[in-house]
Homo-oligomer: A and B are copies of this chain.
Amino acid sequence: MPSISKRGVEVPLSPFRKLVPIADKVKAEGKHVYHLNIGQPDIETPAAAMAKVKETDLKILAYSAAAGNASYRAKLVDYYAKFGTEITADQVVVTTGASEAIQFLFLACMDHGDEMVVPEPFYANYNGFAHIADVNVVPVTCDLEDGFALPDAKAFEAVITPKTKAIFITNPNNPTGCFYPEKALKELAQVVKKYDLYLFVDEVYREFCYDGQDFFSVLRLEEIENNVVVIDSVSKRYSACGARVGAMVTRNEELIDAVVKYAKLRLSPPGLGQILAEGALDMDDTYMNEVKQEYDRRRNVVFDRLQKMDGVISYLPGGAFYCFAEFPVENADHFCQWLLEKFEYKGSTVMLSPGEGFYATPGLGVNQVRIAYVLNTTDLHAAMDCLEEALKVYPGRIKVGQWAEGTAVV
């Protein structure tokens, strides 16, 4: 029997993946599990967008252009303009989800052994894509104490080497929910310019910025137009994760050419998904406003409830639909497994993502978790009831006195 490749054995997985079989088992046994572990919202995909798919008179579902349908790319240009970003359709490549955009960029911008600086904690699948491209993730650590704000220029410069080719950030952030304001991005731009690096920014959560904060796209940064690349997706924006439609946007013509070569290899992004995505762009703002308000309500539920839990340290996230929190436990991985296997409250339990897997630095995040507030407020309260009760009775809870009072850092 032929063997699996070394890399196939080593490919890193998302932090909660090993908990999935356990969750499946206890659900089969009748326990209800509130899933706060994955970014799969319970929000409906806009019916108006689905209707465009249902109304199509397409006779042949042919390959679209490798870079995506011209009509969809044109509408994306108008969409980005709403955020003060002037680009052209030639500067957009439609991809099979943001995942594919990331893979194309890693390949087109970096060679084997090159380095990319990423603030940690970060979306854990970046590790897997870096593994495929054979490039190295170099972390810059963010702090829970300031809500995981973007590190300053000095912190980035401290880890830049001659092998560094890119800085990769997510704004608003997954997994922390941190919103990066214009000022912080402009400071980062100076680093990008100084070392002539690529700046990859995953902006898939741009619609979800709270507290009246205006989203600032890095495509608006001046003097580094050829360095900036935005990664996008319709998955979260329209709760259409299964559409598998993403995009990359850059003014760097050489990079577009290189990415399109990779796009041509796989021939075409999904055709039906592009019809849906185009339909979503035809809508007015009603859907998005409602969704944003809903996430804002959920955000406050999670924040309020965590704040009241003894020993839990968290903060009010400024964007996306995630929150990171520190728990009074020795090992959040064990706690998350225990939650599924050993705990139940009113017939239910909650599934969270252990924090450690979102860090590249060994030993960090061991007592932290990511919470995705992707359930309606009723379910979210019920999930928080479970969590509150669980933290009281968990055998691995840190003893009183070992920890300061739970303090929420806003």
Contact with B along A238-274 (1 / 0, CB 8 A): 0111111000000010110010011011111111110
Q: List 20 A-B contacts (CB under 8 A).
A: A1-B254, A2-B197, A4-B258, A5-B108, A5-B109, A7-B112, A8-B262, A11-B261, A14-B265, A45-B60, A50-B58, A53-B272, A62-B241, A97-B266, A97-B268, A100-B266, A129-B265, A243-B271, A244-B244, A272-B273
Indicate if A82 sits at the interface (CB-CB under 8 A): no
Indicate if A114 sits at the interface (CB-CB under 8 A): yes
Tell whether, in the assembled complex, residue B61 and residue A242 are in contact, meaning their CB atoms are under 8 Å apart.
yes
- Interface members, chain A 1-29 (any B CB < 8 Å): 1-2, 4-9, 11, 13-14, 17
Tell whether, in the assembled complex, residue B244 and residue A96 are in contact, meaning their CB atoms are under 8 Å apart.
yes
Tell whether, in the assembled complex, residue B268 and residue A244 are in contact, meaning their CB atoms are under 8 Å apart.
yes
Indicate if A63 sits at the interface (CB-CB under 8 A): yes
Number of copies: 2
- Interface members, chain A 41-82 (any B CB < 8 Å): 41-45, 50, 53-54, 56, 58-64
- Interface members, chain A 111-157 (any B CB < 8 Å): 111-112, 114, 125, 128-129, 132, 134
Tell whether, in the assembled complex, residue A2 and residue B196 are in contact, meaning their CB atoms are under 8 Å apart.
yes
Q: Which residues of B contact A85 (CB under 8 A)?
A: none
Min CB–CB distance A6 → chain B (angstroms)? 5
Q: CB < 8 Å: which of B63, B97, B196 contacts A40?
A: B63
Q: Which residues of B contact A64 (CB under 8 A)?
A: 242
Tell whether, in the assembled complex, residue B4 and residue A108 are in contact, meaning their CB atoms are under 8 Å apart.
yes
Tell whether, in the assembled complex, residue A44 and residue B63 are in contact, meaning their CB atoms are under 8 Å apart.
no
Min CB–CB distance A62 → chain B (angstroms)? 5
Q: Which residues of B contact A241 (CB under 8 A)?
A: 61-63, 267-268
Known: A1-B196, A11-B261, A97-B268. 6 other contacts (CB 8 A): A4-B254, A8-B109, A8-B258, A50-B58, A54-B54, A128-B262
Indicate if A407 sits at the interface (CB-CB under 8 A): no
Most buried by B among A59, A64, A129, A269: A59
Q: CB < 8 Å: which of B61, B107, B198 contacts A132?
A: B107
Q: Which residues of B contact A107 (CB under 8 A)?
A: 5, 7-8, 11, 132
Tell whether, in the assembled complex, residue B242 and residue A271 are in contact, meaning their CB atoms are under 8 Å apart.
yes
Indicate if A320 sits at the interface (CB-CB under 8 A): no
Which residue on B lies nearest to A47, using beta carbons?
Answer: B59
**A interface size (C-beta, 8 A):** 75
Interchain residue pairs A-B with the least CB separation, the first 5: A242-B271, A272-B272, A8-B108, A128-B265, A8-B258
Tell whether, in the assembled complex, residue A276 and residue B272 are in contact, meaning their CB atoms are under 8 Å apart.
yes
Tell whether, in the assembled complex, residue B270 and residue A243 are in contact, meaning their CB atoms are under 8 Å apart.
yes
Which residue on B lies nearest to A262, using beta carbons?
Answer: B11
Q: Which A positions have Cβ atoms within 8 angstroms of B?
A: 1-2, 4-9, 11, 13-14, 17, 40-45, 50, 53-54, 56, 58-64, 96-97, 99-100, 107-112, 114, 125, 128-129, 132, 134, 165-166, 196-198, 226-227, 239-244, 252, 254-255, 258, 261-262, 264-273, 276
Most buried by B among A134, A197, A244: A244
| Known A-B contacts A2-B109, A276-B61; A261 and B13 likewise in contact (beta carbons under 8 Å) | yes
| Known A-B contacts A54-B53, A272-B272; A267 and B165 likewise in contact (beta carbons under 8 Å) | no
Most buried by B among A54, A129, A265, A276: A265
Which residue on B lies nearest to A166, using beta carbons?
Answer: B2
Q: Which residues of B contact A58 (CB under 8 A)?
A: 45, 50
Q: CB < 8 Å: which of B8, B61, B165, B266 contacts A240?
A: B61
Tell whether, in the assembled complex, residue B40 and residue A59 are in contact, meaning their CB atoms are under 8 Å apart.
no
Q: Which residues of B contact A14 (CB under 8 A)?
A: 264-265
Which residue on B lies nearest to A66, using beta carbons?
Answer: B17
Min CB–CB distance A376 → chain B (angstroms)? 12
